[in-house]
Amino acid sequence: MDRLSLLVWVPVITMIVISFFKDPKKVRLIAAAGMAVQLVQIILLMLAFFAERQAGNDAEMLFFKDIAWYSNLNIHYTVGIDGISLSLILLTGIVIFTGVFASWEITDRAQEFFITLILLATGVFGFFISLDLFTMFLFYELAVIPMYLLIGIWGSGPKEYSAMKLTLMLMGASALLLVGLLGIYFNSAPDGGPLTFNYIEISKIHLPEAVQYFFFPLTFVGFGVLAALYPFHTWSPDGHASAPTAVSMLHAGVLMKLGGYGALRIAVMLMPQAAHEMAWIFIILATIGAVYGALGAIAQKDLKYINAYSSVSHLGLILFATLIFNQVAFEGAVLQMISHGLITALFFALIGMIYSRTHTRNIYEMGGIMKVMPVLGTAYMVAGFASLGLPGFSAFVAEMTIFVGSFQNSALFVRVATILVISSIVITAVYILRAAAIMLYGPLRKQEFELLPDARWYDKVAVFILIGAIAGMGMFPNWLAEMIYTDFTPMFNRFIAN
Amino acid sequence: MHTDMFSYTVWIPLILLAAFLLVGLLSDKLKPLVAGLISTAAILLAAVLAYSAAAGYFFGAGLQDGHYTTLIPFEQLWLRFTDTLVIKMGILLDPISVMMLVVVTTVSAMVHIYSFGYMKGEKGFQRYYAFLSLFSFSMLGLVMATNLFQMYIFWELVGVSSYLLIGFYYQRPSAVAASKKAFIVTRFADLGFLIGILLLSYYTRTFDFMTLTQPNSGILSSAAGVSFMGASVLTWALVLIFMGGAGKSAMFPLHIWLPDAMEGPTPVSALIHAATMVVAGVYLVARLFAVYALGAPAALEVVAFIGAFTSLFAAIIAITQTDIKRVLAYSTISQIGYMMLALGVSGYGSEAGLGYTASMFHLFTHAMFKALLFLGAGAVIHAVHSNEMTDMGGLRKHLPITHFTFLIAALAISGIPPLAGFFSKDEILAAAHGHYPLYFWSGWFVAGLTAFYMFRLYFRVFWGEDRQYEHKPHDAPPSMAIALIFLALASVVVGFIPFSHYVSANGEPYTTHMHWQVAALSVAIAVAGIGLAAWMYLRPGTVADRLAAAMPGLYKWSKNKFYIDEIYLWVTRTLIFKGLAWPIAWFDRHVVDGTMNGMAWATAQVSEKIKGLQSGQLQQYAYAMVLGAVAFLLLLLYWGA
Amino acid sequence: MIEGIEVFDVLVVSTAMFFIGIYGFMVRKNLITILMSVELILNAVNINFVIFNKYLYPDMLQGYIFSLFVTGIAAAEAAVAIAIILNVYRHMKGIDVEQVDTMKY
Amino acid sequence: MERFIFYFIAAIILVFSVLTVSSRRILRAAVYLLFVLLATAGFYFLLNYNFLAAVQLTVYSGGIVVLIVFAILLTAHLDHRLPKPNRLKAGFSGLLAVTGLVLTLFAISRFEFVRSPLVTEGPYNIEEIGTRLLSYGDYGYVLPFEVISVLLLAAMVAAIIVAKKSIKND
């Protein structure tokens, strides 16, 4: 078996093993062990990847493997990774591993919960390793659909409504996406010859422009909905608010990145002309998303809503960066995906932990939490600082890369949009500090909070791993940035050439 | 080169980072005293290294071919954007950064020592020292930055340490609000800084100070040529960068956070909000001075104007404040305005750059005596447990050390010879006089105001009647006294440093001469201010009240800080929160989400309506089917024909 | 082969029969009469099969054999239908097609 | 001669078809249906398709009609008259049926049926039919044959189950 398929198989085996156990305690241990193996495996994969690159293997995709599984339509199981997908795989590995710890206290149908959760992660891993649009779409759906169950069964609040809304909107987007992908497929051989789903192959050819104009918006919006493209973002606040902790983490941390990744890799890279021509529409939408999401977050009371709107804002930044069309901005988009994934996962983990203690997410009902839960409070502040782009944390690196990248585009329109987008980081500071001030600081608002416990060991595992990753990326960004930048080169050259 | 001999300077910030991580991570596991000692040891070590670096630089390696060179003993790639735009982390040594090293480590070390006494028994002692170390680390990183982006990074880090320290008493809502305000206002200003950096770097293709400040490199001309809305892009970029500096240095109209920042512990105010962080804006402009002076003199005019205006404006407010820390805060704003003014009126060159030298000189002396003032005020507050002047009086008998050191500092800031402030202020006024007389007269007037409000403060606190005190006020404990005395000594002697021999705009040493006319004028008005204060506040009487009553409008406006806070409050609360954020939240819930829900609702409605079609009546289905088949047949026939 | 009779003539008969069946299906209320209409329809189709086989493709037996199959299916269908009808009759106390509408929405 | 026989058969088919769907006495309708089916069988005889005619007679006339008659006897009184159909419904259905008929005939009339030049003589013998039904190659119908047999089995079982269940429920 090849290395990359292992990324799919380890979760699958974990799920199978879990299905033999009913006891929540055993189940979560197995899940944690499985995901630990997965994480270790990813780190080994990374080392192997670096070794290959060091050895001068400059193929675009490493660990390439190609198996035809439905030859009539030329559908292949094609896998391979470059620095971009590898870094997102690492992100997924970290988030799912910490997600298991964040759901340590789940006892209600724990077996089914962890199976569904890991199924979701499997879909994500599969998505990132796939080079074949069809397989990719398959894994994409595999990742999106368990969300319905996870929110609908283990959620809180108006969970059925939220689950339904989320699923319907994402499915609607999938429908657009499927049309887009099939459109690409059926035009993948304009000069005759066999059609192909392999996007590396497709990116080497020039899709007819009429085709691009038609399918680019479909594909971009299809992926964009998952990345909370304004105005298709409203599933996100409700969905996140109702979802259980680990699901919010995984969803905001990783799943929304599928949208960004797809928008960048498929929509923009395969259809450059249309992307160029239509960029202005989506730049406007992404800019609105970035500013509007941040402003919307100011007015929220519920921690999860704050964070959901913040995600809209940060994802707006990602989508914005994918439409600037230079290598630095593209690199920034990927960095922001990773950074936002980690930070938002940390946020949701902390919110879940705080909620499980105070049983409220309304910031006005809390106050002075820092005194009773110094570890969680401090971690929340760290997450907040990371999110508002403090140097030393990952978001700074990502945002600066995006800003520097987009400033290289000197069109006045892009300039203005960039400045608006940059201004969103000030608003970010406002809502982060506002929430922290109300919730963490000041005198203790409710006496019964006096006795609440601080973080337990499994909470600490989740929190510290995430903080470590965020700070690590923030302090030593260059290896990651270089890897992504370098691996963008072949893609970018084709993009320019097209 | 001589860079190798300075490679140890990289340890100056790193020691403090290590101290921060150690104290911060272990925090409660350390005994408070141990935590304090670790941090203090770190800063003292850093101070020793900084002094040795300063000695090595000024009296040795720095001076080459008759002018001070810029040395980069350490530089490490941190993040690469493009081939030319890279962020490096490095150490840059030139006269002003070395001077700042000395200032920061000295004041910081004094504050560390002082805090042993001041913060004794506070909860979160360890956290306090951790944050102090973090701040010192960031500030040192800032002053030694080799490029704009490194500066920006540490700029943000000092901002956050300031936030953390202002909000140190996090259970006090006013402290929380103040910290939030400080962070957000400076962050807003940093937005300008960031955009300025991006704009500048887009045209110059570099972040490096070394490259940017080369006088003859021509790198600036490309940017100077492009114009946007009537000014060159370079001017725009520099004004935006200055906006960042103005935010950090509390220049009008971004000054509002600084008085509120006094909610933090007093030693913090002394360190961050008097001596070091708030002068970062001045330092930034000085750092890019060549770019300003050579590339965009128009931007420099903006700096001068804002500086002059702020110094006057803040001084007027300071006169009527009753919270001693707030008086000092406005005084700080006013003095920084001086420094900005001096930079703004300066030219590029050695003698022509008198303003530049004066600004740096004033920065240096101001750091000493303003820190001293704050620490003295801290000792007073420590003794009487209040910030309000109305709760104080007659303290000279109870607090002899504090009284004496405070007097020295007050004389120094008022510009009484031979104390430090006299020399630096004299140079500033001379530079302003050479540039534009109105600036001179405004600065001269501010000097009088400064003397007046400082001595108003001094007389009301240390003279007059005793008040009701909770317990008999006790003088500063030894740790605090050491710091006070050290800084008092510094305030006396630093004025005699021949500053222009070390710091000048283009690095060439030169000699300044005393401007006797300017000096006489400024001393005269300072003495007049002191005399007025003595006349009004030393005798029991109601002169001050009657004066206030005589000018009700001015008094009220000044007392209420010209309502700038209210304007901000209106903008944030009404405009942004009520006018933008809440409507957007509403809009999102009801219009955007409403559309989505509306689509779902419409679908449900339609299906509710058409579900009657599935009536269960077999024959209706048959009817429909046959109808369909017939229609289809018809179509086929039609098209077939 | 019938002298003087063309395919069309036969088709007229079968088509008429077919539509009579359709008419009966749509109009009759009694389930058994509906079943009879269905038999008419099937029969009409059978005739078509046979006539096409006879006139157009006499060398192949498709039409022939398929009409056999249709007959078989008709038988099966009738058996099941009548079983259902009887069941419906027991449940609903009647075999009016308009009564049998529990499969709505 | 045969031509007239055909016309006669056609007339019987049409008349009794109409009667089948319009008679208000249900048993009579069943008998009319029987006449239609018999006439169809006669038509097959006319075409020399004797085996098919025989099947038609036994299965349709012998099996299905009898089944229907049983069902009628079980569910209705003999003197029961069906209610008159709703005029409007009948009108529309008739209109639809007639429109369909006209359109179909119009379509058929415009189609050129190419008669096969081959002239087949005599009836197919049963042996040939049996062989066809059970052969694999071209023009072999073993697959549909098997499917039909399974279907018949299933129908048989289903009929029994459906009928039996109802008894149990009562």
Ranges of each domain in chain D: 1-81, 84-112, 124-170
Shortest Cα distance, chain B CAs vs residue C71, angstroms: 22
Please give the pLDDT value at position B543: 66
Q: Does residue D31 carry a pLDDT above 60? A: yes
Q: Report the alpha-carbon distance of residue A42 to residue A232 in Å, rounded.
A: 33
Q: Is the dihedral of CA A202, A205, A206, A207 positive or negative?
A: negative
- Contacts B–C by Cβ distance under 8 A: 30
Concatenating the DSSP letter of every residue in B319-382 gives HH--BHHHHHHHHHHHHHHHHHHHHHH--SSSSTTHHHHHHHHHHHHHHHHHHHHHHHHHHHHH
Cβ within 8 Å, pair B85-A401: no
Facing B616 at nearest CB: one of C25, C26, C104: C104
Please give the pLDDT value at position B523: 86
Q: Which residue in A304, A301, A302, A297 sits closest to A348, CA to CA?
A: A304
Report if residue C19 sits inside a domain: yes
Q: Does residue B225 carry a pLDDT above 70? A: no
Cβ within 8 Å, pair C5-D160: no
Please give the pLDDT value at position C1: 63
Question: Among B169, B194, B573, which would you mutate to test the A interface (most chain A Cβ atoms within 10 Å of its Cβ)?
Answer: B194
Burial class (CB in 10 A: 0-12, 13-18, 19+), B319: buried
Q: Assess D94–C contact: CB distance below 8 Å, yes or no.
A: yes
Closest CA in chain B for residue C25: B619
* Contact residues, chain D, for C45 at CB < 8 Å: none
Please give the pLDDT value at position C7: 86
Q: Per the structure block, which two tokens stand in for C66?
A: 């398929």
List, as own/partner pairs, every contact residues A186-193 make where C-beta atoms lie below 8 angstroms and the sequence separation is at least 24, other chains included.
Answer: A187/A211, A187/A215
Please give the pLDDT value at position C22: 92
pLDDT by residue (tens digit) across D76-108?
776 777 778 788 888 888 999 999 999 999 888
Arithmetic mean of pLDDT, B553-569: 75
Closest CA in chain D for residue C60: D139
Return the half-sphere exposure (C-beta side, CA atoms, 13 A cut-off) of residue B313.
21
* Contact residues, chain A, for B598 at CB < 8 Å: none
Cβ within 8 Å, pair D71-C72: no
The answer, yes or no, to whether D and C have at least 3 beta-carbon pairs within 8 Å is yes
Please give the pLDDT value at position D80: 74
More confident: B279 or A452: B279
Facing C67 at nearest CB: one of D52, D72, D113: D52
Shortest Cα distance, chain D CAs vs residue C43, angstroms: 8
Please give the pLDDT value at position A93: 92
> Chain B, 443-482: which have a CB under 8 Å from a chain A CB?
none
List chains adjacent to chain B, taking adjacency as at least 3 C-beta pairs closer than 8 Å.
Answer: A, C, D
Q: Report the alpha-carbon distance of residue B506 to residue B354 in Å, rounded.
A: 11
Please give the pLDDT value at position D12: 93
Cβ within 8 Å, pair B623-D107: no
Per-residue pLDDT tens listing for chain A (498 residues)? 578 888 888 999 999 999 898 888 888 899 999 999 999 999 999 999 888 888 888 778 888 888 888 888 888 888 888 888 899 999 999 999 999 998 888 888 888 899 999 999 999 999 999 888 898 999 998 888 888 888 988 888 888 888 988 888 888 899 999 999 988 888 888 777 788 888 888 888 888 888 888 899 999 999 999 888 888 888 888 888 888 888 888 888 888 899 899 998 888 888 888 888 888 889 999 999 898 888 888 888 888 888 888 988 999 999 999 988 888 888 899 999 999 999 999 999 999 888 888 888 888 888 888 888 888 888 998 999 999 888 889 889 999 899 988 888 878 888 889 988 998 888 888 888 888 888 888 788 777 777 778 878 888 888 999 999 999 998 888 888 888 888 888 888 888 877
Cβ within 8 Å, pair C2-D63: no
Query: Backbone phi, then psi, for B146, in 5-degree steps?
Result: -95, -15
Cβ within 8 Å, pair D107-B626: no
Range of the domain at C55: 7-92
Q: Per the structure block, which two tokens stand in for A346?
A: 């940390």
- Contacts A–B by Cβ distance under 8 A: 129
Q: Report the alpha-carbon distance of residue B316 to residue B512 in Å, rounded.
A: 31
Arithmetic mean of pLDDT, D61-66: 87
> Chain A, 405-424: which have a CB under 8 Å from a chain B CB?
405, 407-408, 410, 419, 422-423
* Contact residues, chain B, for D103 at CB < 8 Å: 630, 633-634, 637
Cβ within 8 Å, pair D159-C3: no
List chains adjacent to chain C, taking adjacency as at least 3 C-beta pairs closer than 8 Å.
Answer: B, D
* Contact residues, chain C, for D116 at CB < 8 Å: 55-59
Lowest mean pLDDT among A152-166, B323-337, B338-352, C31-45: B338-352
Q: Assess A380–B contact: CB distance below 8 Å, yes or no.
A: no
Q: Report the alpha-carbon distance of residue A474 to residue A477 in Å, rounded.
A: 6
Closest CA in chain C for residue B609: C105
Q: Report the alpha-carbon distance of residue A429 to residue B163 in Å, rounded.
A: 12
Lowest mean pLDDT among A457-471, B372-386, D4-18: B372-386
Cβ within 8 Å, pair B581-A478: no
Burial class (CB in 10 A: 0-12, 13-18, 19+), B541: exposed
CATH number for the domain formed by residue range(s) D1-81? 1.20.120.1200
Close Cβ partners of B604 (under 8 Å, ≥ 6 residues apart): none
In percent, how much of chain D has pLDDT > 70?
92
Range of the domain at A385: 3-497
Shortest Cα distance, chain D CAs vs residue B595, angstroms: 43
* Contact residues, chain C, for B623 at CB < 8 Å: 26
Report if residue C15 sits inside a domain: yes
* Contact residues, chain C, for B626 at CB < 8 Å: 22, 26
Q: Binning pLDDT at 50, 70 and 90, where does residue B542 land?
A: low
Shortest Cα distance, chain C CAs vs residue B620, angstroms: 8
pLDDT by residue (tens digit) across C36-72?
999 999 999 999 999 888 888 877 778 888 898 899 8
Domain count across chain C: 1
- Average pLDDT, rounded, for chain B: 84
Facing B637 at nearest CB: one of D92, D97, D107: D107
Cβ within 8 Å, pair D120-C33: no
Please give the pLDDT value at position B66: 74
Alpha helix stretches (DSSP H) within A103-158: 110-129, 133-144, 146-154
Q: Which amino acid is at B161?
A: S
Cβ within 8 Å, pair B81-A429: no
Report if residue C85 sits inside a domain: yes
Q: Binning pLDDT at 50, 70 and 90, where does residue D121 land?
A: low
Q: Report the alpha-carbon distance of residue A126 to residue A141 in Å, rounded.
A: 11
Q: Report the alpha-carbon distance of residue A98 to residue A469 in Å, rounded.
A: 11
Please give the pLDDT value at position B517: 81
- The strand pair at B71-80 and B67-68 is best described as unpaired
* Contact residues, chain D, for B635 at CB < 8 Å: none
Cβ contact A309:A233 at 8 Å: no
Q: Does residue D166 carry a pLDDT above 60? A: no
Lowest mean pLDDT among A160-164, B59-63, C76-80: B59-63
Please give the pLDDT value at position B48: 92
Domain count across chain A: 1
Shortest Cα distance, chain C CAs vs residue D11, angstroms: 9
Q: Report the alpha-carbon distance of residue A243 to residue A249 in Å, rounded.
A: 9
* Contact residues, chain A, for B87 at CB < 8 Å: 400
Closest CA in chain D for residue C18: D101
pLDDT by residue (tens digit) across B132-160?
899 999 999 999 889 888 999 999 999 88
Please give the pLDDT value at position D168: 52
Closest CA in chain C for residue D147: C69
Question: Among A403, A404, A406, which would you mutate to test the B interface (most chain B Cβ atoms within 10 Å of its Cβ)?
Answer: A404
Closest CA in chain B for residue D97: B626
How many other β-carbons are positioned within 10 Å of the β-carbon of residue D66? 14
Q: Binning pLDDT at 50, 70 and 90, where does residue D170 land?
A: very low
Closest CA in chain D for residue B622: D93
* Contact residues, chain B, for A430 at CB < 8 Å: 184
Closest CA in chain C for residue B619: C26
Cβ within 8 Å, pair A433-B183: yes
Shortest Cα distance, chain C CAs vs residue D145, angstroms: 8
pLDDT by residue (tens digit) across B389-406?
777 777 777 888 888 888
* Contact residues, chain A, for B85 at CB < 8 Å: 404
Q: What is the CA radius of gyration of chain C?
A: 17
Question: Among D1, D26, D40, which would you mutate to test the C interface (most chain C Cβ atoms within 10 Å of its Cβ)?
Answer: D40
List chains adjacent to chain D, taking adjacency as at least 3 C-beta pairs closer than 8 Å.
Answer: B, C
Q: Binning pLDDT at 50, 70 and 90, where does residue B641 land?
A: low
Cβ within 8 Å, pair A408-B82: yes
Please give the pLDDT value at position B377: 87
* Contact residues, chain A, for B592 at CB < 8 Å: 230-231, 233-234
Cβ within 8 Å, pair D82-C30: yes
For the domain that residue C85 is a member of, what is the CATH number? Answer: 1.10.287.3510
Cβ contact A142:A179 at 8 Å: no
Q: Binning pLDDT at 50, 70 and 90, where does residue D19 land?
A: very high
Please give the pLDDT value at position B32: 83
